[in-house]
Amino acid sequence: MSKVITPRAEDYSKWYNDIVVEADLAEQSAVRGCMVIKPYGYAIWEKMQSVLDGMFKETGVQNAYFPLFIPKSFFSREAEHVAGFAKECAVVTHHRLMNDPAGNGVVVDPDAKLEEELIVRPTSETIIWSVYKNWVKSWRDLPILCNQWCNVVRWEMRTRPFLRTSEFLWQEGHTAHATAEEAQARTVQMVHVYADFARKWMALPVVVGHKSPNERFAGALDTLTIEAMMQDGKALQAGTSHFLGQNFGKSFDVQFAGPDGNLQYAWATSWGVSTRLMGALIMAHSDDEGLILPPALAPIQVAMVPIYKADEERAAVLEKFEELAKALRAKGISVKIDDRDTLRPGFKFAEWEVKGVPVRLALGARDLAAGSIEIFRRDTLTKETVSIDSVVESIPALLDDIQKNIYAKAEAFRASRVEKCDNWDEFKEKIGTGKFLLCHWDGTPETEQAIKDATKATIRCIPVDSFVCEEPGRDIYSGKPSERRVVFAIAY
Amino acid sequence: MSKVITPRAEDYSKWYNDIVVEADLAEQSAVRGCMVIKPYGYAIWEKMQSVLDGMFKETGVQNAYFPLFIPKSFFSREAEHVAGFAKECAVVTHHRLMNDPAGNGVVVDPDAKLEEELIVRPTSETIIWSVYKNWVKSWRDLPILCNQWCNVVRWEMRTRPFLRTSEFLWQEGHTAHATAEEAQARTVQMVHVYADFARKWMALPVVVGHKSPNERFAGALDTLTIEAMMQDGKALQAGTSHFLGQNFGKSFDVQFAGPDGNLQYAWATSWGVSTRLMGALIMAHSDDEGLILPPALAPIQVAMVPIYKADEERAAVLEKFEELAKALRAKGISVKIDDRDTLRPGFKFAEWEVKGVPVRLALGARDLAAGSIEIFRRDTLTKETVSIDSVVESIPALLDDIQKNIYAKAEAFRASRVEKCDNWDEFKEKIGTGKFLLCHWDGTPETEQAIKDATKATIRCIPVDSFVCEEPGRDIYSGKPSERRVVFAIAY
C-alpha cells in the first residue's frame, strides 16, 4: 500500500480524488464522465441501498421498473421540465450497426434511424406519468407509491467521481395522490427519511429545508432538501423531495374519478438520492490518512492483521483470529481476517487505514502468550492493548462509540462554521472561506441571483429543522424586509 | 377481478400474455419493446435477485458497477463478439437537445454530435475487460470475481414480456483467472449455481449441458446452459455460463506476470441470468386460472380474506387474522390481510388466485364461532376446513409441500415429453408436438443447421447432469457415427 494522499490543506479537491482512488472506491472509465464503481465502493453503496430500501418499504413504497428510454416528445409536454432536463442528455438516434463497407470495423447503419429519437432517462417523471395514466381510474387506485433503483444519464462537461458523473446510480420515488395535502405530506415524509438516514447511518449532520424557487427541481412547486457541510465548508445537496402539484398529472392526463364521481388530476411527488451520497460520505469524514467510514455503513467493520515470523506462529495467531471472528460475526459484525502471506503487517495496516475500516486488531505470538491484543480505531488513529478475553465483548460498544464520535466531529465542525451574518461586506468576505451563513433574504429570485452573481453563493435552503430563525430583519443584499433567515453557502 | 385468461389449449401464447397482465406483473410501455415491470412482478424479481446474490457471494463474487455506454470501437476488438452483439443495439450519437427553432418542442442539436458513437451495453465483456487491464499486473491480482446487476439493451423486432424485450434487467458475472483450468472450473461452478437456484427456488427442473458450437455465446470457447421445458413442450434457455478462453484478455491486452515472471494473458468467464427467468417461472407452472408461484419466491405466501356482513363481524375476523398474521410472520412467512372494504370476498379470492398466492385463508363469523378456518391451496385449487388453533403450525409444512408439488408436477410433465428418437421421419413428426428428443448427433455444425432448417429444432444442450446418454449410435439426420445423445427441441 503506497499512500499518496494529498493533504486536505494542500489541495482539498485532489485529496478527495486521491481517497477515491487509494481506498479503491471508483475509477474513471474509457467513457467520458462515466465511472467504474469498484467492489469496495460498491459494497458501501449496497449497504446504503439496503437500509434506504427498507426505510422506503416501511412507509408503504413498492419497487418497480420503468424503461431506460424516454421518447423525445415526452420532454416537451411539461414546459418547465423540458427546460431543466432535456438539454444535456444522451440521445439514441439509431438501432443498428453494420460492418464498415470500407473495412474499418463497424459503423452506424444509416438505414436504422429511429422515427423518434429516444433520450436516456435523466429522471423518469415523464415516462412514469405516461404509465400512471393506465393505472389510475378512480380514487381507489390512489395513492400509487413506487420507487425504482436505476441508472440515469445527464451529460456533464466537468465530472468528479460520485459527485458529478454523466451516468450515476440512484433511486427515484414517484407517487400519485388524490389530494394536494396528501402529496405534500409525502414530500415532507420522504425528506425526513433521507435526513434520518444521513444522520443515523452516514453520521452526517444535515439541515432540512425548502429550496428557494431558483433552486427548485424543474417542474416542482416545492423542493425539500437535505444539505450537508463538507470539510471545506461548502454545501453538498445530498437528497431532494419534490411536490410536483398537478403538473405531470395534467401533462400526461392522469385523471381519476373522486368519491363524488368528478374527474380530477392526480397530485405528484418525486424524491431521490444517488451515488452522490458516496461523495458526501467520503468528504464529510475522511482525513489525510484516507477514508473514514461510519461503522454502520462499513463493508468491513473489523480487520484482523496477524503478526508472525514462523509458520507455527502464523497458525496459532490465525486460529485465535478465527475464533474471535466467529464470535464477532455471531454478533452481526463484519470481519476480515487479512491472512495474505505475501504482504508485511505494516502494508496491511496502511491499507485498512486508507480504506477506512473502523477497527483493526493486531495479534502476534507474544500478545497471544500474554493474553493481550492490540486494538486500533480509525477515527481517532489511537491504539490500545486490551485483554483478548474481553475484546469480543467490547467491540459492539466501540463501534457505537465510533459512529457517535464521527457524527459529533462532523457536527462540531459544522457548528464552527455556521453563523448569522447581517452585513453585505462581511458576507462577501466570509462566504468564500467555507461557511454556512444564516442571513435574511427578501424572498425574491432577483436578489438571490444578484448574490449568486456576486459571490457564487446560493440559498441552500430555508431551514425547517435546524438553524431555524423565524425573526424579522432586513435582506443582506437588498435591505428589504424579511421574516426569517435562510442558509447561504457555496455549493458543490 | 374480471378474469379473462385465455385457456392454454386455445392459445398458449395468448394465455401467457394474459397472465402477465392479469397477475399485474408487467405491461408494455410507450417505448417499443421496453416493458414496465409492475410492483407485484418486481417483488418476485427482487426475491430472485436477493437469493442469487447471496449464492454468488458465497462463491467469493463481489458486486461492482461498470458504464452503461460502450465506445463503438470496443466492439470491433473481439472478432466473434462484434458479429454476435454489435448488430441490433441502441446507438447514442448526440449529447444535447435544443428548442426547435421552428417552435415544435425540442430537437436534437446537430452541433452536439459525439466524436465516437456510444452503444448502450448489450452485454459488458468489452467495457469490463478494458477496465480489468488496469486491475491486473501480477498473478496475485487474480482471480477477479465481479458481478453487476444492471439493465442491458438489445434491439429486438419481436418482443414478448420478460421473454424477449429490448431492455431487460440481468446480472452479468465476469471473472478473470490465471489459468484455463481455474476459469473452466468457475464456468462449471456458476452454471450449477443457476441449476440449484432454478430447482430449489423456482421449482423448475432444468437440464444442465454444453451448447453446441452453433449455439455458443459470441466469443466463447464453451457455453454451459440450463434448459427448462415450458408447458407447450418448448425449451427455454434460462441461464448461461461461458468459458471465454483468452479472447478478451488478448483483445484488451490484460496480461499478468506469473510466479515465474513471464507475462501471460488472463482467462475469462462470464455468466448471466435475466428477467427472462420471470417468463420461465410463469410459463412453467401457471394454469388456466392464472399464475402459480412457488412459495419460495412468492412475495405474498398467505393471503387472508375476511368474510363478514356487519361491522362487528369484520372487526372480530380481522382481529383474529392479525393474530394469525403475527404468528406467521414470526415464522418468516409473508402475509397479506386483504381488508379492503369496497370489494366482495369472491372478487378477492379471484384476485389472489390469478396472482398465484400459494395459500389463501378465508374466515367468517360463523367459522370463528366454530373455531375453524378455510384453507385453500393454489397449486391444486383445493380447499379444506381446519381448526384455527392448528393453522399456524401447519402452514410452513404446507408451503413446503406446495413447493415440492409444483416441482414434481413440472418434472412429471417434462418426463412425459422426453424421449429417445432414432428415426428421422419420427423426429420430424414429433419435434413439433413439444418434446425434448434425445438423439444422436454427428458433432458437425452442418448437420445441426440442416436439422434446424428442416424442423426449427436446435440442440438445446449436450447434457451433463440429466438425460446423459453416453452410448454409441448414428446421427439422426446424417447417419454418421456418434458417441452420445444430445437434447433437441424447439426453443423460445
Asked if residue A164 belongs to a domain, the reply is yes
A397 with A455, same domain: the answer is: no
**Count of A-B CB contacts under 8 Å:** 191
Which of B439, B442, B443 minimizes the C-alpha distance to B424?
B439
Facing residue for A169 by CB, picked from B65, B72, B86: B65
Which of B282, B328, B330 minimizes the C-alpha distance to B301?
B328
- What residues of chain A lie within 8 A of the CB of B87, using their CB? 96-98
Asked if residue A447 belongs to a domain, the reply is yes
Q: Which chain B residue has the Cα nearest residue A39?
A: B64
- Reduced DSSP (H G I as helix, E B as strand, rest coil) percent helix, strand, coil of chain A, to 5: 35, 30, 30
Asked if residue B451 belongs to a domain, the reply is yes
Task: Write the CATH number for A61.
Answer: 3.30.930.10
Q: Tell me what the mean pLDDT of segment A399-405 comes to.
A: 98
pLDDT band per the 50, 70, 90 thresholds, residue A103:
confident
* Cβ contact, residue pair B42, A34, below 8 Å: no
Please name the amino acid found at residue A244: L
Q: Tell me what the mean pLDDT of segment A456-481 comes to.
A: 96
A308 with A253, same domain: the answer is: no
B444 with B350, same domain: the answer is: no
Angle between helices A276-285 and A39-58 (to 10 degrees): 110
Q: Which chain B residue has the Cα nearest residue A109?
A: B87
pLDDT band per the 50, 70, 90 thresholds, residue B103:
confident
Q: A334 and A313 in contact (C-beta within 8 Å)?
A: no
3-state secondary structure of B487: strand
Asked if residue B94 has pLDDT above 90, the reply is: yes
Q: What is the pLDDT of residue A482?
A: 97
Distance CA(B157)–CA(A261), nearest Å, equals 42
Q: Tell me what the mean pLDDT of segment A457-461 comes to.
A: 97
A474 with A381, same domain: the answer is: no
Tens-place pLDDT, residues B183-236: 999 999 999 999 999 999 999 999 999 999 989 988 899 999 999 999 999 999
Distance of CA B218 to the CA centre of its chain: 20
Facing residue for B93 by CB, picked from A70, A105, A108: A108
- Find cell 438539454 and name the residue: A87
* Cβ contact, residue pair B87, A70, below 8 Å: no
Separation in Å, CA of A76 to nearest CA in chain B: 5
Tens-place pLDDT, residues A121-166: 999 999 999 999 999 999 999 999 999 999 999 998 899 999 999 9
Q: What is the pLDDT of residue A72?
A: 92
The two beta strands, A26-28 and B69-71, are: unpaired
Q: Which chain A residue has the Cα nearest residue B120?
A: A92
Q: What is the pLDDT of residue B1?
A: 47
Q: How many CA atoms lie within 13 A of B353 on its CB side?
A: 22
Q: Tell me what the mean pLDDT of segment B63-72 comes to.
A: 97
Facing residue for A167 by CB, picked from B30, B67, B72: B67
pLDDT band per the 50, 70, 90 thresholds, residue A343:
very high
Facing residue for B97 by CB, picked from A38, A89, A153: A89
Q: What is the pLDDT of residue B61?
A: 98
Asked if residue A192 has pLDDT above 60, the reply is: yes
Facing residue for A66 by CB, picked from B36, B67, B70: B36
End position of a domain, from candidates A363, A391, A411: A411
Average pLDDT, chain A: 95
Residue with the bigger pLDDT between A299 and B98: it is: A299
Asked if residue B464 belongs to a domain, the reply is yes
Facing residue for B93 by CB, picked from A88, A94, A169: A94
Q: Which chain B residue has the Cα nearest residue A35?
A: B67
Asked if residue A325 has pLDDT above 50, the reply is: yes
Distance CA(B32)–CA(B440), nearest Å, equals 41
A363 with A446, same domain: the answer is: no
Q: What is the pLDDT of residue A76?
A: 81
Q: Tell me what the mean pLDDT of segment A377-395 comes to.
A: 97
End position of a domain, from candidates B217, B251, B285: B285
Distance CA(A266)–CA(B23), nearest Å, equals 25
Q: Which chain B residue has the Cα nearest residue A64?
A: B39
Supply A138's cell numbers: 378512480
* Cβ contact, residue pair B31, A155, below 8 Å: no
Task: Write the CATH number for B458.
Answer: 3.30.110.30
* Cβ contact, residue pair B63, A39, below 8 Å: yes
A312 with A407, same domain: the answer is: yes
Q: Tell me what the mean pLDDT of segment A455-469 comes to.
A: 96
Q: What is the pLDDT of residue A463?
A: 97
Separation in Å, CA of B41 to nearest CA in chain A: 8
Q: Tell me what the mean pLDDT of segment A286-302 comes to.
A: 98
- What residues of chain A lie within 8 A of the CB of B80, using their CB? none
Facing residue for A95 by CB, picked from B29, B88, B112: B88
Query: Where on the phi/psi map is residue A14: left (φ > 0), alpha (ψ -120 to 50), or beta?
Result: alpha
Asked if residue A228 belongs to a domain, the reply is yes
* Cβ contact, residue pair B34, A74, below 8 Å: no
Q: What is the pLDDT of residue B381?
A: 97
Asked if residue A194 has pLDDT above 90, the reply is: yes
* Cβ contact, residue pair B71, A31, below 8 Å: yes
- Find cell 428428443 and name the residue: B437
Q: Which chain B residue has the Cα nearest residue A82?
A: B106
Describe the strand order of the beta sheet including A436-440 as a list of residue ranges.
A62-63, A144-153, A167-177, A267-274, A235-245, A222-229, A206-210, A458-463, A485-489, A436-440, A418-420
Q: Which chain B residue has the Cα nearest residue A65?
A: B37
The two beta strands, B485-489 and B458-463, are: antiparallel
Which one-letter DSSP state was computed for residue B204? -
Task: Write the CATH number for B331.
Answer: 3.40.50.800
Q: Tell me what the mean pLDDT of segment B139-147 comes to.
A: 97
- What residues of chain B lie within 8 A of the CB of A73, using their CB? 105
Please name the amino acid found at residue A429: E
Asked if residue A358 belongs to a domain, the reply is yes
Asked if residue A11 belongs to a domain, the reply is no
A249 with A330, same domain: the answer is: no
- Find cell 486494538 and name the residue: A375
Facing residue for A64 by CB, picked from B42, B68, B151: B42
Facing residue for A91 by CB, picked from B30, B70, B95: B95
Query: At a CB cut-off of 8 Å and minimum separation 6, what does B366 contact?
Result: none
B311 with B269, same domain: the answer is: no
Q: Tell me what the mean pLDDT of segment B363-392 comes to.
A: 97
* Cβ contact, residue pair A68, B120, below 8 Å: yes
Q: What is the pLDDT of residue A101?
A: 82
Separation in Å, CA of A130 to nearest CA in chain B: 8
Separation in Å, CA of B197 to nearest CA in chain A: 22
- What residues of chain A lie within 8 A of the CB of B31, using their CB? 67, 69-71, 118, 127
Distance CA(A455)–CA(A490), nearest Å, equals 8
Asked if residue B67 belongs to a domain, the reply is yes
Tens-place pLDDT, residues A21-80: 999 999 999 998 999 999 999 999 999 999 999 999 999 999 999 999 999 999 888 767
* Cβ contact, residue pair B86, A97, below 8 Å: yes
Residue with the bigger pLDDT between B325 and B85: it is: B325
Q: What is the pLDDT of residue A86?
A: 63
Distance CA(B306)–CA(A330), nearest Å, equals 41
Can you list the positions of beta strands (E) in A141-262? 144-153, 167-177, 206-210, 222-229, 235-245, 255-257
Q: What is the pLDDT of residue B394?
A: 97
Q: Tell me what the mean pLDDT of segment B286-313 comes to.
A: 96
A73 with A130, same domain: the answer is: yes
Q: What is the DSSP string of A299-355?
A: S-SEEEEEE-SSHHHHHHHHHHHHHHHHHHHHTT--EEE---SSS-HHHHHHHHHHT
Q: How many CA atoms lie within 13 A of B191 on its CB side?
A: 27
- What residues of chain B lie within 8 A of the CB of A126, using their CB? none
Q: What is the pLDDT of residue B79?
A: 67
* Cβ contact, residue pair A75, B106, below 8 Å: yes
Q: What is the pLDDT of residue B105?
A: 81
- What residues of chain B lie within 8 A of the CB of A96, using their CB? 87-89, 91, 155
Which one-letter DSSP state was computed for residue A441? -
Q: Residue A387: how many CB atoms within 10 A of its CB?
A: 12
B438 with B362, same domain: the answer is: no
* Cβ contact, residue pair A35, B67, below 8 Å: yes
Q: Which chain B residue has the Cα nearest residue A50?
A: B50
pLDDT band per the 50, 70, 90 thresholds, residue B75:
confident
Q: What is the pLDDT of residue A402?
A: 98
B247 with B164, same domain: the answer is: yes
* Cβ contact, residue pair A42, B64, below 8 Å: yes
Range of the domain at A158: 28-82+123-285
* Cβ contact, residue pair B27, A106, below 8 Å: no
Facing residue for A105 by CB, picked from B30, B62, B76: B76
Asked if residue A83 has pLDDT above 90, the reply is: no
Facing residue for A37 by CB, picked from B42, B65, B96: B65
- What residues of chain A lie within 8 A of the CB of B89, using their CB? 95-97
Q: B320 and B388 in contact (C-beta within 8 Å)?
A: yes
- What residues of chain B lie within 8 A of the CB of A27, using their CB? 131, 134
Facing residue for B92 by CB, picked from A66, A82, A92: A92
End position of a domain, from candidates A384, A411, A438: A411
Asked if residue A305 has pLDDT above 70, the reply is: yes
Separation in Å, CA of B462 to nearest CA in chain A: 33
B185 with B275, same domain: the answer is: yes
Q: What is the DSSP string of B370-427?
A: HTEEEEEETTTTEEEEEEHHHHHHHHHHHHHHHHHHHHHHHHHHHHTTEEE---HHHH
Q: Residue A6: how many CB atoms within 10 A of its CB?
A: 16
Which of A277, A486, A301, A261 minimizes the C-alpha distance to A392?
A301
Distance CA(B81)–CA(B131), nearest Å, equals 17
Q: Tell me what the mean pLDDT of segment B432-449 comes to.
A: 96
Q: Tell me what the mean pLDDT of segment A438-454 comes to.
A: 97
Q: How many CA atoms lie within 13 A of A35 on its CB side?
A: 28
* Cβ contact, residue pair A68, B153, below 8 Å: yes
- What residues of chain A lie within 8 A of the CB of B28, using their CB? none
Give chain A's domain count: 3
* Cβ contact, residue pair B96, A90, below 8 Å: no
* Cβ contact, residue pair A36, B72, below 8 Å: no
- What residues of chain B lie within 8 A of the CB of A62, using their CB? 39, 42-43
